Amino acid sequence: MTKNTRDADVAFIQALAEVLRENDLTEVQVKREYAADDSMNVRVSRQQPQQVVTQMAAAAPVAAAAPAAAAAPAASADPASNPAAVTSPMVGTVYMAAEPGAASFVSVGSVVAEGDTILIVEAMKTMNHIPAPRAGKVTRILVDDGAAVEFGSPLVILE
């Protein structure tokens, strides 16, 4: 491996890390082909801050029943564990409207029927309409327009 190749590889890995940070992703993996028998596999990953807090809380010993009882409501407040949460079926970018400047599909308080589009997740240049899995009222919107989401990320609370 020449110094120029090594420097190019380091720059490539740094660029992947920047993509990871800018899009709030937890992992990106790329295979780079140089020749028929020469390639490089790169996986750049990071741990989400929420996971760090969860792991630290799980590792901390419980000194008394009162702190454990106080922690229970905080855990149930996690939108991902809410059974009324509509989650992302894919990794992508969320759009709240069909096009820039258009009215949002839903807002807090909107009543939707099963199958109504509640938002769009763009993945690989394809706009995927995300339908309401059931009829209900939107009580919380958990993502911002243009935000990056991962598979299983909670998007809205539909009760």
Instruction: Read off the pLDDT of residues 43-64 as tens digits, 9 standing for 90 and up.
Output: 777 655 444 444 444 444 444 4
What predicted TM-score, i.e. pTM, was given to this entire model? 0.51
CATH label of the domain that carries residue 92: 2.40.50.100
* Percentage of the chain modeled with pLDDT above 70: 74
Q: Are residues 35 and 85 in the same domain?
A: no
Lowest mean per-residue pLDDT among 11-25, 81-95, 136-150: 11-25
In a domain, residue 133? The reply is: yes
In a domain, residue 102? The reply is: yes
How far is it, in rounded angstroms, from Cα 36 to Cα 158?
Answer: 51
In a domain, residue 57? The reply is: no
How far is it, in rounded angstroms, from Cα 148 to Cα 94?
Answer: 6
The two structure tokens encoding residue 75: 């855990």
Q: Are residues 146 and 95 in the same domain?
A: yes
Domain range for 132 is 81-158
Q: Are residues 89 and 150 in the same domain?
A: yes
Instruction: Read off the pLDDT of residues 5-42 as tens digits, 9 standing for 90 and up.
Output: 667 777 777 777 777 777 777 777 777 777 777 777 77
In a domain, residue 32? The reply is: yes
Q: Are residues 146 and 87 in the same domain?
A: yes
Q: How far is CA 32 from the centre of its chain?
A: 25
In a domain, residue 65? The reply is: no
How many structural domains comprise the chain?
Answer: 2
DSSP at 47? -
How far is it, in rounded angstroms, from Cα 107 to Cα 156?
Answer: 10
